[in-house]
Structure 1
């Protein structure tokens, strides 16, 4: 399917989730399922006016929900179903006819990161380094191909599974496998493992990647942009008021994005479906308000923070911290002496508005920031002095150990 490419514009905003929208799956151009940190899965379908509306809310997870997969209509599910995975280690199977949960699959020890529906079976991946196959609500097989957290799993047209310890995966029909990485890049791989193309343009972790039959690619990143790629070149950057956790193509070429502001957005190149000018202007205002609100990171002025070039200067002690400016965000890094590099700790999300020497574990610091280390982990406290010379070794070393696991980049084909 060819798309007469023009810039994507906002088609509509889908509001209802109460926290970050984390995952998306689409069915053709008619239905969307989304998952959220608010512990819910929502179904969106077209009404009689061809507008997407919330049609069902699926409740049953006890923590944030991530990956989703459709179940095609069958004898058990006449209207189809949804499979969801969560931070609560559960895989849930839902009947879309009733909106009820029919199976709760227990076995993973840590967060579920990927879901594939495979000819009646469910295959799931997890931070516990395993993949599991489930049939009729029961576990039937476990694979332990990785020695690190498995962040995604997809099924190739050949029937093979591809697993990933980087971030996200997608099949690019006729060409190979797309991967999204913590290093800010996208890569297209041959099934043999050869890198066919690298796409660089994001300035932070890339959480998701998807491709369309037209050859277009879309990616979503912590840098607040969904980027559209054609022939390896970024042809459009779609700005959001928050992290873009997921981005998926619909069959008609429209793009659905999941944002940390709790809003699902659909973007289109079809001028007949573009939102009214008033809605477009409102979205521009949302972006402006968001960016103005990010001009301070706690008590630090954003424009006074060093840029990414500061990370070219080696640290002096293991665990030394540094806060740098990435786009409209302040991001904390810790020095890893063993690997001689700065490892990302997380985004600074809050802190005191003035420096009155904050106490942490009985010690005074210039600032004590709240840091979002991602992946559904609790907000952590980061003590920080303007010199960057004092730190919390437990926080830093725990984070660095975690990052050393999840940032190893390799694919396994099963």
Structure 2
């Protein structure tokens, strides 16, 4: 049965970051938001034939709230919440009854054990913690932000870390992992969930999802999403619910073979399925309730939502440009099939609104990948920090001083991007663009970094031994899906060795933009 939209809950004024079911009532759940609040929603009986909900509690924070989870204490079901304040708050109704301190940065994950007697948290400070009443245990060996944490039993917990490692802890054995898998994914780990058979699901920044056996052997790995998988959540019946930066929630079976995608107009930060419904948390500030029961679905609401998605897609496609031309005006993929190229020649075409690069190789055109949209003009200078960190200036608004985006050497681009957006009050839909920008300019030499076909140079390598020659390169944030009044652009220094300067000279006066894509750079003349 296909999910249909049953309700849209309006109340938050910022991105809805998390959703969790509550065990106290039938169809009761909580949501947290970038608007610094947590809201508790309960099924309304005003319209029994429909799925209507009332907001029965609003819990106020000082900064945005990333994570929420129910926990039992002395026979009472309480609610835990945490976010940019670095504190875990415990709520009884609308009253905060306890503050759990210990984290030094954003709390990005909260989970309870199956019996809800212990609370587990993960943070950008590179630690995972176990809480029981006012005591805490810090789990060791994390070298980067702990994006997610899941409890197999009250004593056994697994963490998903931005250093790509999957770690399994037995609290009875100490604070060091009893097992850990390095490079669990090719990209940074973002989420972990316990499967119904005590195995695991994991998701990563590259959109991949993996299934693991209980002893941490990878069963399968597949590219389920086109971008970051923010959350993986079990539905209690063997299926898994995924939320992604690509604007979809996905319901999969335990083998990832059967999938149902629920399209949204923008980022889906979280999603969970319970009591016959699916609830999604969107970056548009709306919580949506979906049902497989046709009697509960509202076709008119679903159709209006589908029209808004298509409108947003068309507006984004119309605004996107490559080489000064609208992507929609580029030759199509079908046109390319009728062109005989030269060996090694590259062309960029429009494939359903995406600008894709193809290379003529062995008598046919082969897809290399999707290219980035045009950049803008530079006004402010950038710099490379002495400690190897990547820094650039970000112009937010005309007439206001630029902000500094600083990405530490070896850090997680996603953590840097989310922290920058949160600290400066930017639209969270910028996050993926900032991640892409950081990745583009910090790809290590010899490890998939972009190599310039004329100079042999790659993107800046933090800490690399290079003779620095200032070459300005700018990329703005794509405003097609954001507030049109907000203009954001970057300027950084690209670093070239002294041997590459002659090659650079060949480009002066001819290069409009360099598009870095996977292992190549494409020049637009």
CA deviation digits over 1:251-278, x for unaligned, max 9? 33x2111111111111111112111x32
Aligned residue number for residue 60 of structure 2: 59
- Could you tell me the TM-score, scaled by structure 2's length? 0.58
Number of residue pairs the alignment of both structures matches: 339
Distance 2:244 2:275 in 1: 22
1:217 aligns with 2:213: no
Asked whether the equivalents of residues 129 and 144 of structure 1 are also in contact (C-alpha less than 8 Å), the reply is no
| Among candidates 21, 28, 31, match of residue 31 of structure 1 | 28
Cα RMSD, aligned residues only: 3.2
Asked whether the equivalents of residues 113 and 151 of structure 1 are also in contact (C-alpha less than 8 Å), the reply is yes
Aligned residue number for residue 178 of structure 1: 201
1:341 aligns to what SS in structure 2? coil
Choose between structure 1 and 2 for higher RCO, CA contacts under 8 A separated by at least 6 residues: 1
Aligned residue number for residue 306 of structure 1: 355
1:246 aligns with 2:352: no
Distance 1:389 1:246 in 2: 32
C-alpha change, 1:179 and 1:297, in structure 2 (3 Å) is: same
Shift of 1:301: 3.8
Which sections of structure 2, spanning at least 5 residues, go unmatched?
Answer: 162-188, 331-353, 358-366, 372-383, 385-389, 393-431, 451-470, 480-486, 493-510, 517-525
Aligned residue number for residue 157 of structure 1: 153
Aligned residue number for residue 258 of structure 1: 281
Distance 1:267 1:132 in 2: 33
Aligned residue number for residue 335 of structure 2: none
Aligned residue number for residue 131 of structure 2: 134
CA deviation digits over 1:3-31, x for unaligned, max 9? xxx11111111111111111111135521
1:146 aligns with 2:142: yes
Name the stretch that deviates more: 181-190 or 283-292.
Answer: 283-292
Shift of 1:139: 4.1
Distance 1:109 1:217 in 2: 31
C-alpha change, 1:389 and 1:196, in structure 2 (3 Å) is: closer
Aligned residue number for residue 409 of structure 1: none
Aligned residue number for residue 355 of structure 1: none
Shift of 1:245: 0.8
Shift of 1:121: 3.8
Distance 1:268 1:251 in 2: 10
CA deviation digits over 1:182-221, x for unaligned, max 9? 1211111112110112232311111111222332222111
1:233 aligns to what SS in structure 2? coil
Aligned residue number for residue 214 of structure 2: 191
C-alpha change, 1:334 and 1:311, in structure 2 (3 Å) is: farther
2:477 aligns to what SS in structure 1? strand
C-alpha change, 1:180 and 1:383, in structure 2 (3 Å) is: same
1:113 aligns with 2:108: yes
| Among candidates 314, 331, 341, match of residue 448 of structure 2 | 341
Distance 1:125 1:266 in 2: 27
- Could you tell me the TM-score, scaled by structure 1's length? 0.73
Distance 1:73 1:251 in 2: 24
Asked whether the equivalents of residues 370 and 382 of structure 1 are also in contact (C-alpha less than 8 Å), the reply is no
Which sections of structure 1, spanning at least 5 residues, go unmatched?
Answer: 1-5, 322-328, 344-362, 372-378, 391-414
1:388 aligns with 2:514: yes
| Among candidates 243, 266, 285, match of residue 307 of structure 2 | 285
The structure with the largest alpha-carbon Rg is 2
C-alpha change, 1:387 and 1:278, in structure 2 (3 Å) is: same
